[in-house]
Amino acid sequence: MPEHNLCQEFLSQISDYLDNNIDPLTCDELEKHLVDCPNCRVFVDTLKKTVYLYQQQEADINVPSEVRGRLFKVLNLDDLTR
């Protein structure tokens, strides 16, 4: 199979992989692909860091997303009236 297809398959399952939400067999295949494919390795690494930072931020700020959404709306309106 061409490498490109493997990468696409990998990326389509990456969120399940990060959530540990896939069966062990698929997980094995994905991890084998990671060993062979530096591109996907970098991608997963970046994604993991992003998710981690995002979760840290969530914990620190501790604002419900609904409230944040309203806050952003207010800020956008502020920008428009300036």
Interface ranges with Zn ion (CB under 5 A): 7, 37, 40
Phi, psi at 29, each rounded to 5°: -65, -40
Residue 18: CB minimum distance to Zn ion, A: 15
Residue 50: CB minimum distance to Zn ion, A: 18
Which of residues 42 and 77 has its CB atom nearest to Zn ion in the complex? Answer: 42
Which of residues 28 and 58 has its CB atom nearest to Zn ion in the complex? Answer: 28
